[in-house]
Amino acid sequence: MIFVDTHAHLGDPQFDADRDSIFERAAAAGVTRIVEIADHPDEWARAVALARARPDNARCTLGLHPYYADLYDDAFLSKLRAALNATPEAVAIGEIGLDYAKATVPHDAQRRAFEKIAAAAKSWGVPIVVHCRDAYPDLVPMLQKIFPERPVANRFWGVIHCFTGTPENAEACSNLGFALGADGPVTYKKNDALREAFRRAGPEAAVLETDSPYLPPQSMRGKRNEPASILEIAAKLAEVWGVPLDEVARRTSANAAALYRWP
Ligand SMILES: [Zn+2]
Ligand SMILES: [Zn+2]
């Protein structure tokens, strides 16, 4: 069985002492592919270096997290475009998005940055990694406007990473052509509503992610998360969908390959 961790932050200093062993433990768990996410332009070079050092196992993304959306200006898109052109390892733009729970940037500035970057990504043919906290009522209509038609073939416009919305949000996003990222929270005891969202959306659009070092699954709560914990998330989805674990591996890995165009 082969798994893909579609979202991790392994450049985080918390991994400085044992980064190589994190990749080894991931591979031993069947997690042979990891996508490193860069949230801020100052992190882009670090993410690219991490991916470039592991061409068989890692790719990266370049983003501007809603926490930093006030950095968006007219020069940003040309800087992003130049960085993407110089970086074959970069498979998506993200994280970008809306965070009404923790970000201090005003909502209208977040929406403006997200809309501009998402529209540019679409025109460039690059998928996006969307971060959304407590903002689905604004996010869904924006996605409908920017991505009015379905993506071609079995592709996705992007992923709603760490999906934590309602079953209705899940249906709306997957109907628009977005994948849904399942993380540690699907394993938390209290999260029956989230499991119901993934049950209803089914395996068609789901991808696995850890968001390491954040969001450890139930058995590791309070600890540093790492990509090997994909197995615990996959096992929970196998329960939710009533399918064998190898079916979860096969479906989510195929979705990840389609999402990031990493065959
Ligand atoms: Zn995020
Ligand atoms: Zn993240």
Distance 96 CA to ligand 2 centre (A): 10
**SS3 label, residue 60:** strand
Query: What is the 47 CA–ligand 2 centroid distance (Å)?
Result: 13
- How many domains would you assign to the chain? 1
Instruction: Give pLDDT, residue 154.
Output: 81
Ligand 2: centre distance to CA 19 (Å): 17
What is the token pair recorded at 39? Answer: 């949230």
**pLDDT recorded at residue 47:** 98
Q: What is the pLDDT of residue 153?
A: 81
Give the distance (Å) from ligand 1 centre to CA of residue 95. Answer: 6
Cα separation, 195 vs 199, whole angstroms: 6
Distance from the alpha carbon of residue 11 to the mean position of ligand 1, in angstroms = 15
CATH number of the domain that 8 lies in? Answer: 3.20.20.140
Ligand 1 centroid to residue 193 C-alpha, Å: 20
| Residues contacting residue 32 through CB under 8 Å, at least 6 positions apart | 2, 3, 4, 26, 56, 57
Helices 230-241 and 245-260: crossing angle, nearest 10°?
A: 110
List per-residue pLDDT tens for the chain, 263 residues long: 999 999 999 999 999 999 999 999 999 999 999 999 999 999 999 999 999 999 999 999 999 999 999 999 989 999 999 999 999 999 999 999 999 999 999 999 999 999 999 999 999 999 999 999 999 999 999 999 999 999 988 899 999 999 999 999 999 999 999 999 999 999 999 999 999 999 999 999 999 999 999 999 999 999 999 999 999 999 999 999 999 999 999 999 999 999 999 99
Task: Say which residue the tokens 């992003």 belong to.
Answer: 80
Question: pTM score > 0.85 for this model?
Answer: yes
Q: How far is the CA of 40 from the centre of ligand 1 (A)?
A: 12
Residues within 5 Å of ion ligand 2, judged at the Cβ atom:
211
Ligand approaching nearest to the C-alpha of 97: 1
Domain, as residue range, for 23: 3-260
How far apart are the CA of 162 and the centre of ligand 1, in A? 7
Tokens 């994190």 found at:
22
For CA atoms 149, 161, 51, 55, give the dihedral sign.
negative
What's the confidence (pLDDT) of residue 220?
A: 95
Expressed in angstroms and rounded, the spacing between residue 41 Cα and the centre of ligand 2 is 14
94 Cα–ligand 2 center, Å: 9
Rounded CA separation 5/230 (Å): 7
Distance, CA 18 to ligand 1 centroid (Å)? 23
Radius of gyration of the chain measured on its C-alpha atoms: 17
